[in-house]
Structure 1
Amino acid sequence: MKKALVAGATGLVGSSLVYELLESGIYSEIRILARRKTEFSEKRGVQEHIIDFDELARHESILEGIDDVFVTLGTTMKKAETKDNFIQVDYTYPVQLAELAKQSGAKRFLIITAAGSDPKSPFFYSRVKGQLEEKLLSLGLPSLHIFRPSLLTGERDEFRLGEKAAEAASRKLSTLFRGPLEKYKPVEGRFVAAAMKAIAQEESSGTYLYESDKISDLGMHTKKA
């Protein structure tokens, strides 16, 4: 059986993902990297590692024997408070994890970025996400899967007023997400998690990009199967 590592298990997608992996019975071991204790710490088959992400290089051994690395890390400018802190979470940590995954011989690296990611974007958020993708592409990972969801919907542990307002507005404007705009339609966090789990079970090599509409379709199909 396979072994997985999840970084970001306390977030909307990350928590759903761990449940998906546990329920699938595919993995004999799921290792979680977290800053604090999670709801999965007592689950059978879970190894929880509470670490300081600023010292990721010291934890290389945690990735030994891992087949699939899932990265769902992400913050907001409100929580990060500064651009440097945002870059640390949304760029530096994921890149370091990718480098460690390659060194340890992981077969697949699956990560969430965002719709509209572009290293040349005039918007800071999209530019950082695009720079992350660009860096990951340069690492030559054996199997890289980049998921670009638009607005993530679903119940979070923390209340985010801005995202709730955007979610309500997007529901009213859902008919506009057609044609070229379809890849920007909101997607439920649980469908992103289901899509990531499904993709990890496929034998693959090279780089793959999944836009929001494709993620939603795959996630819904997987949940129904």
Structure 2
Amino acid sequence: MREDIKKAIAQAPKGVHADGQLKLVIFDCDGVLVESEHLVGDVLGKEARKHGWNITGPEARALFTGVQLVDIEKEMKKHVTMPLPIHWREHAHDLIVEAMHHDIHPIEGVETILQTLKDLNIPYRIGSNSSHEEMKIKFNTSKLTHWFEKDRTHSGCDMERPKPFPDLYLHAAEQEGVNPEDCIVVEDSDTGLKAAYDAGSVCILLRDLDKPAPDYRGLIRVASLNEATDFIKEVVQSQKK
């Protein structure tokens, strides 16, 4: 285990300590389980350019990752030169959902980490700002549906306050009947990390190690789901001693 991860464990909530007990892993969806953020960036980038905002797909992806359409619409209105239609959010949602039927792929290592959790008897849930309809399509297109039970998939659309507020992750922990500090949350966005950190859970950031990240106390950084799998196995093994 890397030295920076060992140091992070010492500063992280008790769920990953040797004298603690990991009781639940909560996954974000986009960028963690499935690769779809390029799609959202492309769709919204085209919509922005259509209305006079000259933004590229990668720029749109960086700006809108993990952000709900209601907030994206507010940002769009600051930059477009032609007014957005009254029902633009519904229109954008329909465009994104349609694209999801054709261009969604599983993140490398996703089935390995889910099978490992099953083998370790560690339950897992999903906590995403995506709607249930969107997640259903994403999992179907990426052929991951059989891994996820409906009542263990939670949407920020059902929360009064979605991410970056902690409500979604607190709700997932409550539904499992565990304390948030005994949970690991796997995220890729700063928005999701803030939600996980404020919930009091252990935060794993799935992101290239050379890219910047928030300076959260006890943040566990991994570059791949396979590395996250190895980390979880080591944590569970340390708690059996």
Same structural fold, with TM-score higher than 0.5 when normalized by the shorter chain = no
Report 1 or 2 for greater relative contact order, CA contacts < 8 Å, sequence distance ≥ 6. 2
TM-score per shorter chain, which class? 0.3 to 0.5
TM-score between the two structures when normalised by the length of structure 2:
0.32
Q: TM-score, normalised on structure 1?
A: 0.33
User: For the pair shown, which has the larger CA radius of gyration, 1 or 2?
Assistant: 2
